[in-house]
Structure 1
Amino acid sequence: MRQDQFESLAAQLPVGRDAASVRKRVEAMEVLLERAFVVPGTNYRVGLDAMVGLVPVLGDIITTAMGAWILWEARNLGMPKWHLLRMGGNLGFDALVGAVPLVGDLFDLAFRSNTRNLKIVKRWLDKHHPETRVIEGEITGRP
């Protein structure tokens, strides 16, 4: 991600507690953790989860904490416990396997727990807060 893209994204992040603001923040965190950078010479995208996870123990603790923030935002939205448990399972599984040296680093490239959790949040938001739906980069309605 280029510096101007990052600054543009940061300027657009809302601070509110409404569902549309939470959606934008969670989407931005997922991009940062899972697909912020392109591997040179390929079209494969990686994020901080795979890169910082290369640092033994501390890297996995940091990226798990950042992923837990998505779970915290989902809890604050009032999502049901079943969804929160699924999201926590995704995050916990990623943290456990990611802690294994070398194997965990390769696993981080394939199992994107934050992307899975974002899909859960977006599906719930689309059902319970349809005004937050985004089509081609534009919010379709305001509360």
Structure 2
Amino acid sequence: MKAKSANPNTVNKGHAAISQRLERLAWLLDSSIRLPGGYRVGLDGVIGLIPGIGDLIGAGLSSYIVVEAARLKVPLRVLARMGLNVLIEFVVGIVPIFGDIFDFAFKANLRNVRLLNAYLRNNA
């Protein structure tokens, strides 16, 4: 019998707490700042504007979600996909101007939390 959780996308209360924390982090990094016109960006994109080190800091913060997924024993195929999202955002983000625009649009952290929650929901 499955345990009830606060978040219907997760398996149990322990996973619900972790998922909720990671969802909040992903929102902060990818969608926490509302721009005129309703488009949302996050701290990851803003940090990425710092020349030289911004994208590295953003990749480090994004990697935390992948590390937490590994602690939850998510299979390698899901972890690899999550890691690829972070890598794509990092590599493209290095390109001046285009990379910054890409950082604001790609939202790797929200993608990774969706991948994690889908795995947890489907593998109870």
TM-score (norm 2): 0.85
CA drift of 1:127 comes to 1.6
In 2, Cα distance between equivalents of 1:19 and 1:80: 15
State the SS of the aligned residue for 2:112: helix
- Say whether residues 1:125 and 2:96 are aligned partners: no
Query: In structure 1, how many angstroms separate the alpha carbons of the residues matched to 2:16 and 2:52?
Result: 34
Which amino acid in the other structure matches residue 18 of structure 1? Answer: G
Partner of 1:112: 107
> Pick from 81, 87, 91: which aligns with 2:76?
81
Question: Structure 2 unaligned runs (5+)?
Answer: 1-12
Structure 1 spans left out of the alignment, 5+ residues: 1-16, 130-143
1:45 to 40, 46, 52: 40
CA distance in 2, matches of 1:73, 1:58: 23
Deviates more, 1:119-128 or 1:17-26: 17-26
Map of 1:67 onto structure 2: 62
Higher RCO, 1 or 2 (CA under 8 Å, sep at least 6)?
Answer: 2
Classify the secondary structure of the residue corresponding to 1:30.
helix
Q: CA RMSD in A?
A: 1.3
User: Structure 1 residue 65: deviation in Å?
Assistant: 0.5
Q: What is the aligned partner in structure 2 of residue 23 from structure 1?
A: 19
The one-letter code of the counterpart of 2:32 is A
Runs of 4+ in 1 over 4 A off after TM superposition: none
CA–CA distance in structure 1, aligned partners of residues 45 and 87 of structure 2: 15
Question: How far apart, in 1, do the equivalents of 2:111 and 2:16 lie?
Answer: 19
